[in-house]
Chain A
Amino acid sequence: MTGFHLAADKRTTLEEAVAHVRDGATLALGGGLAARLPMALVRALVRQGTTGLRVVGSAHSIDVDLLVGAGAVAVCEESYVGFEQDLGLAPAFRRGAESGSLVVRESSCVTMLTQLRAAEMGVPFLPVRGLLGTDLPTLHPEWGTVTCPFTGQLLAAVPALAPDVALLHAPIGDAAGNLHLDQPYVLDERFAHASRVVVASVDRLVSTAEVAAAGVTVPAHVVTAVVEAPFGAHPTSCYPGYAYDRTHLAEYVKAASAGGDAFEAYLDRYVRVEEQTYRDLTGAERLTAWSASDEQWQELFR
């Protein structure tokens, strides 16, 4: 890899942090489905006006959809983009794929994991189970097959994938970039070790002693920059802090489904504003109520 990041203080602003993401970059997004997505960083990326991204990862939702809707993405290489049965298909992603403005090179979770592992290990490719007989390889001319030199088995083979930048969000981290995450980590650790640049946002910047006591999931030496962004995963969850905001996600899906002026209005109201304004508008604070009781927790999902 390109080496560790040894600065003692990597604190910066959202704007400076996302300046690491250049037009056309291969971008990894941390978290999964509607949990711990790096949304404050994604919103800053939209404000920055980045274009031509190739986004890679496993199962995602509003992060990818918002970037696609804002015109930031050229190629999408995730294993899933959507809002599950609750809010349905991802509107901007779907519109882009169906109109041809977005190239979807759909991947699969194990394939993505294997490609990141190859990058981490410094090998050019790895074999992976499955894929043969499916249509996914038709979307990936860069994938191939390999015959095992020991058993003669034919296996799918996939190239190493080292993202240019990974955006991660964590509940807590320190100034050097040590991050503590709650499980599931999804691919965050793999992104952290395989990517050239790792930009992290944290709900709370805390002392190194506090992160160490909680347990360091991603070590500072693989992190390039860290930004404090309270409710930085909102409207997705970041436990133990806050549950996901079903009301806001539904508002997003409605705006993205309508597209055009409705989507622009969403961007103006929630994305092209200061994060503090965003937090106030969305009432993110109420989502901390999940921990009061099972009843209150359930209410957040009704």
Chain B
Amino acid sequence: MAPMDTNIESRTIAVLVDNEPGVLARVIGLFSGRGYNIESLTVTEVDVAHGLSRITVVTSGTAQILEQIKAQLGRLVPVHRVRDLTKEGTSVERELALIKVAGAGEKRVEALRIADIFRARVVDSSHDHFVFEMTGKSDKLDVFVDLMQPLGLIDVSRTGVVAISRGAKAL
């Protein structure tokens, strides 16, 4: 018998599902019921004509667990396709964040300066706050949020990861 691989890896998995009531609960219930991790999960309808939604889930586990997660997702009745974007070729991953920073004086200037470096856009502001919009890879968002922490960060809203494979082929 092959020895079990105990390395924990992170994977981004795309799941195409029927956009029907309960389908998200089915996917989430599978993860909680079987004790798998969800690091990020996004879902929205992507094909209105055919009633299809796309779920992007970032999960982690040993190679065996990750294969198991994909197989378990694949056997849900409303699931059309399951693709491992991390393992099957390369992919583009993006996340969007809205970040609210409140304050005045030096800190406010510094926040705006860093936002500029990170190419964050100001989408709302007053004399004592900014709301920044930022899109990028999740770790870039993490760094920006960390930098805002001492500068008056009061609220963060993030979408979670969306991802798509590189190249000319569809899911």
| Bind each other | no
Interface residues of B (CB under 8 A from A): none
Interface residues of A (CB under 8 A from B): none
